[in-house]
């Protein structure tokens, strides 16, 4: 029968504490910094809240698959960043932006196309929007920007994890290795209730 002394147990517990502490100190993979692209709003719309599927003054809802995009704004060491301005902008269910440079026709009038929120004390943020679709030349994506006091502004794109078009998208491929691609990807999982899928995406800034 194996006998374990009290000293061995203490040593084992101590080793476990050191391992956990080391894990807590491990740096996260930073969210890739990408350019804002040509479709950041020329003028910020009057309705620019965190619910992009309903536009103030309109009775209809945006067409497309409604999803909840949420997560936290974190430092490289995993500390929350409160008060960060989180902006997202994206095209509608047919791949059309609300922008004068859009060449594919008028965008869905019931889709806000742009929204903002601020991270809470725990670094949390949340948006209600539509799941992006592919359009000619690009894999599905959502543009995002993080800014605020003491924060170096950066923009990025949020991709759909595992989407087959990713392998052909020049910007996604340009991110580099798998870790960086994962740091720019979100997986939307269906949930019960209202039928909207949930996707968690943490912005890691440093």
The CATH number that applies at residue 67 is 2.60.130.10
In the numeric block, which tokens belong to residue 69? 């995009």
In the numeric block, which tokens belong to residue 110? 């019931």
Is position 121 within any domain? yes
pLDDT of residue 21: 42
Q: Which domain holds residue 135?
A: 27-205
- How far does CA 113 lie from the centroid of its chain? 15
User: What is the C-alpha separation between 177 and 162, in angstroms, rounded?
Assistant: 14
Provide the β-strand partners of residue 46. none
Nearest Cα residue to 151 out of 40, 3, 42, 31: 31
Is position 187 within any domain? yes
User: What is the C-alpha separation between 95 and 104, in angstroms, rounded?
Assistant: 8
Is position 136 within any domain? yes
Is position 39 within any domain? yes
Is position 198 within any domain? yes
Q: Average pLDDT, stretch 142-160? A: 95
Is residue 160 within 8 A of residue 139, CB to CB? The reply is yes
Residue with the two structure tokens 């894999």: 139
Is position 5 within any domain? no
Number of domains forming the structure of the chain: 1
Is position 2 within any domain? no
Is position 7 within any domain? no
Residue pLDDT, tens place only, 91-133: 999 999 988 777 777 889 999 999 999 999 999 999 999 999 9
Instruction: Say which DSSP state 12 is in.
Output: H
Indicate whether 5 pLDDT > 80: no
Question: In whole angstroms, how far apart are CA 118 and each of 9, 58, 82, 177?
Answer: 47, 25, 8, 30
pLDDT of residue 204: 97
106-133 as b/e, with b when 16 or more CB fall inside 10 Å?
ebbebbbbbbbbebeeebebebbbbbbb
């Amino acid at each position: 029968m194996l006998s374990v002394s009290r000293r061995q147990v203490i040593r084992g517990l101590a080793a476990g504490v050191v391992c956990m502490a080391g894990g807590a100190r491990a740096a996260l993979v930073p969210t890739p910094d990408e350019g804002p692209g040509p479709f950041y709003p020329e003028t910020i719309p009057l309705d620019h809240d965190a619910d992009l599927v309903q536009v103030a003054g309109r009775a209809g809802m945006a067409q497309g698959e409604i999803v909840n995009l949420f997560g936290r704004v974190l430092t490289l060491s995993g500390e929350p960043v409160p008060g960060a301005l989180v902006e997202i902008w994206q095209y509608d269910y047919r791949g059309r932006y609300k922008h004068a440079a859009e060449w594919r026709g008028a965008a869905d009038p019931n889709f806000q196309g742009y929204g903002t929120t601020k991270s809470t004390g725990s670094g949390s943020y949340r948006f209600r929007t539509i799941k992006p679709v592919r359009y000619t030349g690009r894999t599905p994506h959502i543009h995002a920007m993080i800014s605020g006091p003491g924060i170096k502004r950066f923009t990025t794109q949020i991709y759909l994890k595992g989407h087959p078009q990713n392998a052909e998208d020049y910007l996604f491929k340009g991110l580099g290795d798998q870790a960086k691609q994962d740091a720019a990807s979100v997986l939307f999982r269906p949930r019960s209730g209202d039928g909207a899928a949930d996707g968690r995406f943490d912005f890691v800034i440093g």
